[in-house]
Amino acid sequence: MQMIPVSSSNLAAIGYDHQKAILRIQFIKSGTYDYQNVPLHVFEELMSALSKGQYFDRYVKNGGYSFSKA
């Protein structure tokens, strides 16, 4: 999965597997996590958000997606 570096105080890079609908988030301090069954539009909105950390907290972290350490 290709990881795209992002400008954020909390997130280092973001990746997305279209076939498996897995959103991968690399955090600056706490490692890398995979979020399952994340729709493509959530990835696209995250990548275009002015504050990626705020979008992640609101729509991914609090979105009820199951996750695991990558």
User: What are the sequence ranges of the domains in the chain?
Assistant: 4-69
Q: What is the pLDDT of residue 24?
A: 98
Render pLDDT for 22-47 as a digit per residue (tens, 0 to 9). 999 999 999 999 999 999 999 999 99
Per-residue pLDDT, 6: 97
pLDDT at 57: 96
**pTM for this model (two decimals):** 0.95
Please tell me the predicted confidence (pLDDT) of residue 51.
96
pLDDT at 8: 94
- Nearest Cα neighbor of 42 from 68, 64, 70 is 64
Best CA proximity match to 13, nearest among 47, 36, 37? 47
